[in-house]
């Protein structure tokens, strides 16, 4: 008989409270422990901020500092250790929820954790709830269609250099740029150089303190820190008028 606890992966936000499926709220209420990732540079978990208004007992919460180290071996060690910790709780019969920002399986480190859990606790019961992606939240906040008709859209983490990004933009109608980070200044410079910045939109920390929304990035003055928790919606040409 399987006496393992249940594991839930839950995407929250990004940003405004209430951006969470009702089924996921029910899972949170059934969870004995709720793991909430917190950035090394932050005093609070953004994922928990996205749960504002939801009654969640403080004794359930386990904030864990996560790493975004580009070294794959460091990431592997981090998520292996976390998976082993969660596996202990599951084997003790406790239900565990793990929060992610946005959709749990769209460019999310949750995928690393899920893979590690499958290795260290192969018979565990789990369910992942779909969440709202950062680009869907950004498009909604700005009223910016992500594609109409037969427009070709590309969703990708920000390339490391302007040459690669220029090629991606030139071969698609729309590019959704995620994981921008410190690259934001040169990305905006490229959009201005290509003469398309006025067609592009930017969203940062949607629904949170220091929210920034811009439906024209030609005059946006960026620092390297502005690229975190940010999404760029890039359009190569002006939006086609389809009404009379």
Q: Measuring CA to CA, which residue among 237, 197, 236 is closest to residue 220? A: 197
Per-residue model confidence as pLDDT tens digits over 118-127: 998 889 999 9
Give the per-residue pLDDT at 1: 45
Mean pLDDT to the nearest integer, 154-158: 96
Lowest average pLDDT, out of 48-52, 58-62, 67-71, 210-214, goes to: 67-71
| One domain for residues 111 and 150 | no
With cut-offs at 50, 70 and 90, classify the pLDDT of residue 244.
low
153 and 178 in contact (C-beta within 8 Å)?
no
| One domain for residues 115 and 139 | no
CATH number at residue 17: 3.40.1010.10
> How are beta strands 230-235 and 201-204 bridged, if at all?
antiparallel
Per-residue model confidence as pLDDT tens digits over 195-215: 999 999 999 998 888 899 999
Give the per-residue pLDDT at 242: 66
Residue 156, beta-bridge partner list: 177
CATH number at residue 164: 3.30.950.10
Q: How many residues does the chain have?
A: 244
Cα 100–105–106 angle (5° rounding)?
95
Asked, for residue 48, whether it belongs to a domain, the answer is yes
pLDDT at 223 over 90: no
| One domain for residues 11 and 74 | yes
For 4-95, list the strands marked E by DSSP: 6-12, 33-39, 61-66
Mean pLDDT to the nearest integer, 121-140: 93
Angle between helices 184-193 and 162-170 (to 10 degrees): 50
Q: Distance (Å, rounded) from C-alpha 237 to C-alpha 214?
A: 17
Q: Distance (Å, rounded) from C-alpha 25 to C-alpha 18?
A: 10
Asked, for residue 158, whether it belongs to a domain, the answer is yes
Mean pLDDT to the nearest integer, 72-82: 80
How far is the CA of 74 from the CAs of 79, 104, 109, 115, 179, in angstroms? 9, 21, 13, 16, 19
| One domain for residues 100 and 86 | yes
Lowest average pLDDT, out of 40-49, 202-211, 220-229, goes to: 40-49
> How many angstroms from the chain centroid is the CA of residue 60?
23
What would you report as the CA-atom Rg of the chain, rounded to the nearest whole angstrom?
20
| One domain for residues 22 and 87 | yes
> How are beta strands 6-12 and 96-101 bridged, if at all?
parallel
> How are beta strands 201-204 and 212-214 bridged, if at all?
antiparallel
Asked, for residue 240, whether it belongs to a domain, the answer is no
With cut-offs at 50, 70 and 90, classify the pLDDT of residue 177.
very high
Residue 42: domain span: 6-129
What lies within 8 Å, CB to CB, of 4 at 6+ separation is 90, 91, 93, 121, 123, 124, 125
| One domain for residues 19 and 125 | yes
The number of distinct structural domains making up the chain is 2
Asked, for residue 39, whether it belongs to a domain, the answer is yes
Asked, for residue 170, whether it belongs to a domain, the answer is yes
Asked, for residue 241, whether it belongs to a domain, the answer is no
Give the per-residue pLDDT at 66: 74
| One domain for residues 54 and 162 | no
How far is the CA of 94 from the CAs of 3, 31, 51, 101, in angstroms? 9, 8, 22, 23
Peptide bond just before 14 cis, omega within 30 deg: yes
| One domain for residues 90 and 183 | no
- Could you say which of 110, 129, 148 is where a domain stops? 129
């Amino acid at each position: 008989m399987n006496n393992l606890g249940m594991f839930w992966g839950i995407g929250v936000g990004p940003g405004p409270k209430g951006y969470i499926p009702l089924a996921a709220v029910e899972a949170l209420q059934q969870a004995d422990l709720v793991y909430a990732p917190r950035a090394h540079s932050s005093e609070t978990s953004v994922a928990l901020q996205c749960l504002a208004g939801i009654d969640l007992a403080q004794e359930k919460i386990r904030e864990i500092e996560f790493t975004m180290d580009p070294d794959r071996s460091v990431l592997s060690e981090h998520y292996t250790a976390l998976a082993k910790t969660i596996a202990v709780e599951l084997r003790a019969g406790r239900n565990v929820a793990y929060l992610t920002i946005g959709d749990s399986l769209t460019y999310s480190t949750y995928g690393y954790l899920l893979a590690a859990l499958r290795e260290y606790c192969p018979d565990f019961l789990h369910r992942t709830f779909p969440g709202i992606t950062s680009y869907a939240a950004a498009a909604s906040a700005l009223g910016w269609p992500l594609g109409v008709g037969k427009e070709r859209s590309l969703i990708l983490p920000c390339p490391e250099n302007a040459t690669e990004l220029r090629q991606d933009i030139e071969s698609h109608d729309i590019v959704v740029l995620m994981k921008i980070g410190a690259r934001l200044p040169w990305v905006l410079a490229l959009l201005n150089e290509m003469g398309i910045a006025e067609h592009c939109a930017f969203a940062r920390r949607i629904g949170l303190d220091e929210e920034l929304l811009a439906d024209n990035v030609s005059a946006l003055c960026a620092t390297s820190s502005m690229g975190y928790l940010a999404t760029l919606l890039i359009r190569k040409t002006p939006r086609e008028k389809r009404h009379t």
